[in-house]
């Protein structure tokens, strides 16, 4: 029971990171009906920005961790949002009226460009970071096994669900959220009614990139190592989470992220770690066979 509880905590923290990335996928898909395949690499850029700024702050003597982390998160969100805006402006907007595969191909090109840019700028080697947020709480202790809830896990879980609540309220209660929902239903009609469609889509990319950057900060603080390739792996898993939960649904994206995190964690704990990705994708396939729209997704209604 103690071992199971520890893996439950680990899976919740990992799934929260996947969920934050998945929200960016599902927000973009909900409005323009396309997947931003560069989103995972924006997450990677956010992690590198966080690492660079954090090392710089510690180097100049900013040792009060809450202040340092606040500066890192805000800086990463701002800088990574610029990347998100650039991806939409360069890869999506000029091709919005083209055939559907054109923006996807361009987005894959942006993904490769970001990977190679970071590889050239930062090198191909793994970049380590010493533990910044340490300590935790002992929840259970029996037969020599201790269940620990670390402070970094608490921070990841609380930050994720707080951001989830904030963005859900933003979409449900603000004029920007109403514009996003209008563009999701019919972009042409939304434009006729006075909605600035270009600005709404750009802001959606910016919001998704900001969430991905927070996930990048959480990732580097949790694992302590990053490289230029983490965006591809995490991006594929977050995309899987978005599809599993129901592409286009914010709660579905978070639910899918948690499920993928739990599957990976429990499979690694009780079975062979080499097949944890196989298990996650197998569950996705089974869900889509019986629930093609995902767990919380809405079936698409074809417009005629």
What is d(CA 29, CA 31) in angstroms, rounded to the nearest whole number? 5
Q: With cut-offs at 50, 70 and 90, classify the pLDDT of residue 17.
A: very high
What is the C-alpha radius of gyration for the chain, rounded to an integer number of angstroms?
20
Q: Are 91 and 107 in contact (CB under 8 A)?
A: yes
Spatial CA neighbour of 16 closest among 203, 148, 214, 173: 214
Instruction: Tell me what pLDDT residue 50 has.
Output: 94
pTM of the model: 0.91
| Neighbouring-strand partners of residue 147 | 140
Instruction: Tell me what pLDDT residue 150 has.
Output: 93
What is d(CA 96, CA 81) in angstroms, rounded to the nearest whole number? 20
- The stretch 284-294 carries a mean pLDDT of 82
Percentage of the chain surpassing pLDDT 90? 42
Burial class (CB in 10 A: 0-12, 13-18, 19+), 21: buried
Q: Are 25 and 39 in contact (CB under 8 A)?
A: yes
Name the 3-class secondary structure at 138: strand
CA distances from residue 20 to 24, 68, 252 in whole angstroms, order as listed: 7, 22, 11
What is d(CA 93, CA 90) in angstroms, rounded to the nearest whole number? 7
Structure tokens at 169: 């309220």
Name the 3-class secondary structure at 227: coil
Domain ranges in the chain are: 24-232
- The stretch 198-222 carries a mean pLDDT of 92
Spatial CA neighbour of 34 closest among 84, 105, 85: 105
Instruction: Tell me what pLDDT residue 301 has.
Output: 55
Average pLDDT, the chain: 88
What is d(CA 203, CA 81) in angstroms, rounded to the nearest whole number? 9
Q: How many helices (H) and strands (E) does the chain have?
A: 11, 4
């Amino acid at each position: 029971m103690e071992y199971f509880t520890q893996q439950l905590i680990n899976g919740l923290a990992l799934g929260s990171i996947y969920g934050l990335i998945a929200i960016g996928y599902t927000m973009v898909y909900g409005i323009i009906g396309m997947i931003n395949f560069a989103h995972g690499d924006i997450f990677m850029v956010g992690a590198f920005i966080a690492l660079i700024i954090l090392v710089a702050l510690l180097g100049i003597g900013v040792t009060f961790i809450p202040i340092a982390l606040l500066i890192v998160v805000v800086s990463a969100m701002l800088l990574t949002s610029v990347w998100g805006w650039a991806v939409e402006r360069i890869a999506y907007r000029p091709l919005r009226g083209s055939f559907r595969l054109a923006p996807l191909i361009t987005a894959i090109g942006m993904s490769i460009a970001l990977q190679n840019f970071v590889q050239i700028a930062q090198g191909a080697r793994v970049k380590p970071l010493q533990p910044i947020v340490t300590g935790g709480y002992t929840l259970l202790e029996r037969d020599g096994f201790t269940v620990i809830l670390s402070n970094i896990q608490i921070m990841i879980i609380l930050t994720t669900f707080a951001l989830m609540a904030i963005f859900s309220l933003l979409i449900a209660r603000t004029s920007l959220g109403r514009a996003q929902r209008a563009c999701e239903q019919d972009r042409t009609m939304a434009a006729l009614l006075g909605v600035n469609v270009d600005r709404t889509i750009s802001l959606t990319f910016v919001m998704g990139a900001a969430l991905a950057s927070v996930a990048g900060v959480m990732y580097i603080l949790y694992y302590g190592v990053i490289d230029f390739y983490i965006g591809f792996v995490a991006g594929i898993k977050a995309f899987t989470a978005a599809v599993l939960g129901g592409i286009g649904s914010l709660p579905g994206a978070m639910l899918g992220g948690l499920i993928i995190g739990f599957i990976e964690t429990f499979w690694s704990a009780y079975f062979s770690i080499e097949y944890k990705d196989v298990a996650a994708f197998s569950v996705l396939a089974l869900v889509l066979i019986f629930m093609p729209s995902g767990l919380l997704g809405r079936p698409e209604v074809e417009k005629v």
